[in-house]
């Protein structure tokens, strides 16, 4: 993980190179007021007045230089306003002129994220340190960057190096660092206690054996919340096998678990007054002689008999048993993250997690939180008339609902395991960025993480 803790420092007047922030609206006046050498250098670098344009400019009369960056509005920098500068600048210490750092601290930090674990020669540059006159913002920005880094890095690692045991080790790290209690269920206890998790993961090799990972933290007197993550470390589709193209990115099918782990760490670092129950169902969905078959019927932990129509609809199965455990343990709020359906991506694309919520007030709070931190969500309907798509001829329910409304029927299946009185939010997230943007490289990505944390930090404020 990148060490973000020293990349933003309080401005005490120390030596630093300037980054001049220019509003798009004021570019023409700025350009007209520059000496001709500066205008020539700006033009040569295609510094034309578009938001995001960036240039290195020599300061006439000496050997010093400065950077210039055009933003939509210098009066209020957005989260990603400084990301391009953080990516492009050489090692050094910098200070903004013409703007306050504000929300853009996060983009400065994440502009320096790189995943270089598998490069023989690292492409990492030296640190770019930003000075700020708002030191009160530093700690939260660093925590958000660290959490995003954790999601990205876990998702980026190949499944050959990140199995259920590595997810367990990550939970163990959190438990040790924050004095939580870890409990892991596997083997016979998993088979009898969590039949759907066992059924999905039973074809994996012994060193990728399925398990339910639970972490408990916080004062038992505080409101109990559950954070649930889908941890399919690799998804072949099982016997309903994916195509080669469909399988290529399936190392990221544990993205829900990565989000859950990162959110749990944010909660614990901030000491939110909650009783946290983190649950991660960790499996590999393999093809082998003992694999789950289409047509099999499995009795879930909740006692609901599930007919398997499609072994590639496995995420909802492992989440069903996990949600049942969270309900048993009296969670008043459950939030689950899952890279669950391609249908959600068809509907909303890669950037917008599909949000399914059984409580309007909770939904509104999450949507508002996402807008506030530039981590948008989009609410989708738990449309009950589609529930009959999950009907089975011989069991209580099927696990898949056919070709229509795939994201909705997946959510409706999971809702069977959450009573109406328990507030529940399900985020069907992509956990991947197919094309790079400043501060957001191609690869694993946290989508919905900051929105949910923002909501929780407001719903359960530290007194």
Task: Compute CA distances 240 → 259, 291, 379, 408, 410, whole Å.
Answer: 27, 10, 29, 21, 17
Round to the nearest angstrom and report the end-to-end CA distance of the chain.
31
CA 102 to chain centre: 22
User: What is the C-alpha separation between 149 and 39, in angstroms, rounded?
Assistant: 38
Measuring CA to CA, how many Å separate 41 from each of 57, 60, 84, 131, 372?
A: 7, 12, 19, 26, 37
The residue from 39, 114, 202, 242 that is catalytic is 242
Rounded distance between C-alpha atoms, residue 438 and residue 83, angstroms: 5
The DSSP output letter for 300 is -
List CB contacts of 97: < 8 A, sequence separation 6 or more: 18, 19, 20, 21
Backbone CA torsion sign across 151, 153, 157, 162 = negative
CA distance 436 to 426: 26
Instruction: Give backbone dihedrals phi and psi of 299, rounded to 5 degrees, phi first.
Output: -85, 120
The β-bridge relationship of strands 333-338 and 423-428 is parallel
How many residues in the chain? Answer: 463
Output the CA–CA distances (angstroms, integers) from residue 124 to 87, 111, 128, in the order listed.
10, 12, 11
242 is catalytic: yes
What pairs with residue 54 in β-bridges? 69
SS3 65: strand
**Count of C-beta atoms within a 10 Å radius of residue 461:** 10
Q: Is-catalytic flag, 316?
A: yes
Interatomic CA distance for residues 344 and 342, integer angstroms: 5
Q: Which residue of the set 95, 251, 316, 325 is catalytic? A: 316
Contacts of residue 363, defined as CB under 8 A and 6 or more positions apart, other chains included, come to 355, 357, 379, 425
Give Cα 33 to chain centroid, integer Å: 44
Closest CA to 346 of 437, 392, 410, 418: 410
Catalytic residue positions, numbered: 242, 316
């Amino acid at each position: 993980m990148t060490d973000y803790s020293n990349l933003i420092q309080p401005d005490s007047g120390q030596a630093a190179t300037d980054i001049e922030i220019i509003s798009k609206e004021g570019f023409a006046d700025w350009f007209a007021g520059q000496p001709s050498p500066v205008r020539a250098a700006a033009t040569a670098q295609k510094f034309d007045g578009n938001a995001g344009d960036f240039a290195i400019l020599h300061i006439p009369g000496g050997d010093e230089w400065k950077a210039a960056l055009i933003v939509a509005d210098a009066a209020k920098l957005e989260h990603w306003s400084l990301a391009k500068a953080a990516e492009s600048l050489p090692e050094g210490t910098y200070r903004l002129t013409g703007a306050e750092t504000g929300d853009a601290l996060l983009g400065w930090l994440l502009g320096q994220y790189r995943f270089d674990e598998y490069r023989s020669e690292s492409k990492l540059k030296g640190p770019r340190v930003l000075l700020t006159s708002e030191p009160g913002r530093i700690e939260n920005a660093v925590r958000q960057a660290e959490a995003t880094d954790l999601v990205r890095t876990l998702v980026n690692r190949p499944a050959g190096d990140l199995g259920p045991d590595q997810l367990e080790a990550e939970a163990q790290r959190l438990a040790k660092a924050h004095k939580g209690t870890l409990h892991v269920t596997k083997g016979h206890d998993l088979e009898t206690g969590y039949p759907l998790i066992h059924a999905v993961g039973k074809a994996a090799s012994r060193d990728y054996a399925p398990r339910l990972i639970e972490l408990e933290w916080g004062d038992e007197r505080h409101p109990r919340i559950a954070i649930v993550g889908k941890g399919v470390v690799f998804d072949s589709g099982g016997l309903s096998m994916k195509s080669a193209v469909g399988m290529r990115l399936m190392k990221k099918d544990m993205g829900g678990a990565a989000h859950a782990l990162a959110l749990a760490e944010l909660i614990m670092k901030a000491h939110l007054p909650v009783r946290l129950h983190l649950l991660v169902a960790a499996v590999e969905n393999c093809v082998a002689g003992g694999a789950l078959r289409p047509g099999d019927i499995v009795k879930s932990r909740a006692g609901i008999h599930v007919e398997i129509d499609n072994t590639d609809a496995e995420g909802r199965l492992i989440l069903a048993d996990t949600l049942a455990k969270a309900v048993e343990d009296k969670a008043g709020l459950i939030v689950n993250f899952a890279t669950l359906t391609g249908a959600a991506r068809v509907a909303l694309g890669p950037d917008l997690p599909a949000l399914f919520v059984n409580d309007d007030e909770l939904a509104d709070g999450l949507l508002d939180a996402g807008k506030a931190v530039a981590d948008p969500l989009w609410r989708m309907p738990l449309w009950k008339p589609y529930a009959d798509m999950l009907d089975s001829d011989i069991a209580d329910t099927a696990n898949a609902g056919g070709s229509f409304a795939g994201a909705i029927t997946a959510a409706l299946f999971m809702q069977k395991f959450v009573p109406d009185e328990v507030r529940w939010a399900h985020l069907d997230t992509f956990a991947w960025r197919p094309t790079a943007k400043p501060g957001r490289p191609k690869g694993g990505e946290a989508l919905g993480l900051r929105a949910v944390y923002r909501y929780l930090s407001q719903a359960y404020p530290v007194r």
